[in-house]
Amino acid sequence: MTIALLQGTDASVRRHPLLVEGLLLFFPVAALHAMLSPLIWTTLFVFVLPYTHAIPSHQWHAHEMIFGTYGAALAGFLTSAVPEWTDTQPRRGRDLLLLLGLWLPGRIVGLLGIEALVLPVGVTDVAFLSLLFWYVLKPLLDRRSTRHASFAIWVGLFALAELGIRAAWLTGRIDLAGQLLQTSLIIFLVFFALAVARINVVVINLALDPSGETTPYRPHPGRQNLAAGMVSIYAVAALAFPHSTAPSYLALAAAATFFDRLAEWFIGMAVLKTQVLALAIANAFAGGGFLLIGLSGLGAPVATATGLHMLSVGSLGLAVLAVFIIAGLRHTGRSLVLPWQAHAAVALMVCASIVRILPELGLGPSLTGLHYGLSAALWSAAYGVWLAGFLPFLMNPMNEAHGCK
Report if pTM > 0.85. yes
Quickly state the pLDDT bin for 405 (edges 50, 70, 90): low
Residue 139 contacts by C-beta under 8 Å, 6 or more apart in sequence? 82, 83, 86, 88, 145
Residue 43 contacts by C-beta under 8 Å, 6 or more apart in sequence? 373
Q: Please, are residues 162 and 207 in contact by the beta-carbon 8 Å criterion?
A: no
Q: Would you state the pLDDT for residue 10?
A: 54
Q: Please give the average per-residue pLDDT across 383-399, as a whole number.
A: 92
Quickly state the pLDDT bin for 140 (edges 50, 70, 90): very high
CA distances to 208, 231, 282 from 261, rounded to whole Å, are: 18, 14, 11
pLDDT at 59 > cutoff 60: yes
Q: Would you state the pLDDT for residue 370?
A: 77
pLDDT at 2 > cutoff 90: no
Q: Please give the average per-residue pLDDT across 32-48, as a whole number.
A: 82
Q: Would you state the pLDDT for residue 120?
A: 95
Q: Lowest-confidence range among 125-134, 310-319, 368-377, 395-404?
A: 395-404
Distance CA 245, CA 247 (A): 6
Nearest CA among 120, 114, 116, 119 for reference residue 50: 114
Q: Tens digit of pLDDT for each residue in 243-280? A: 899 999 999 999 999 999 999 999 999 999 999 999 99
Distance CA 135, CA 82 (A): 9
Q: Lowest-confidence range among 91-105, 185-199, 208-222, 389-403?
A: 389-403
User: Angle of helix 317-330 relative to helix 274-297, nearest 10 degrees?
Assistant: 160
Q: Would you state the pLDDT for residue 8?
A: 46
- How far from the centroid of its chain's Cα atoms is residue 209's Cα? 28
Domain 19-395 class, CATH top level: mainly alpha
All structural domains of the chain with their residue ranges: 19-395
pLDDT at 366 > cutoff 80: no
Its sign, for the CA torsion 314, 206, 135, 25, is positive
Q: Please give the average per-residue pLDDT across 4-9, as a whole number.
A: 42
CA dihedral 149, 150, 154, 155 (to 10 degrees): -30
pLDDT at 41 > cutoff 90: no
More confidently predicted of 364 and 24:
24
Q: Please give the average per-residue pLDDT across 41-67, as a whole number.
A: 84
When the pLDDT of each residue in the chain is averaged and rounded to a whole number, the result is 90
Q: Would you state the pLDDT for residue 399?
A: 60
Q: Tens digit of pLDDT for each residue in 72-110? A: 999 999 999 999 999 999 999 999 999 999 999 999 999
Q: Please, are residues 106 and 139 in contact by the beta-carbon 8 Å criterion?
A: no
Q: Would you state the pLDDT for residue 246?
A: 94
Residue 85 contacts by C-beta under 8 Å, 6 or more apart in sequence? 147, 148, 405
